[in-house]
Amino acid sequence: MTMRFEMYRDSAGEWRWRLRARNGEVIADSGEGYKRREDCEHGIELVRQSAEAKFVDMTTQIA
């Protein structure tokens, strides 16, 4: 199995997504329901693009 996004409807009828790792474990999810499928698909695309995001170790930041 490869990593994959799964899109589904929750019990309230809203669209959600989850990302499964190769071992089948859920490693991320939408955290919210979307009324429109297109909005859910957009959320997935934002996560896909986040591979370009910078990594910041907040434990080294001064509070």
pLDDT digits (tens, 9 = 90+) for 37-55: 999 999 999 999 988 889 8
Number of domains in the chain: 1
Name residue, tokens 């996560």: 47
Domain range enclosing 40: 4-60
- Helices then strands, counting H and E runs in the chain, come out as 1, 3
Looking at 1-63, list the stretches that DSSP marks H as alpha helix, in order from N- to C-terminal side: 37-49
pLDDT value at residue 63: 60
Ramachandran angles phi, psi of 3, nearest 5°: -60, 145
> Residue 44 maps to which CATH number?
3.30.160.160
Provide the pLDDT for residue 11. 97
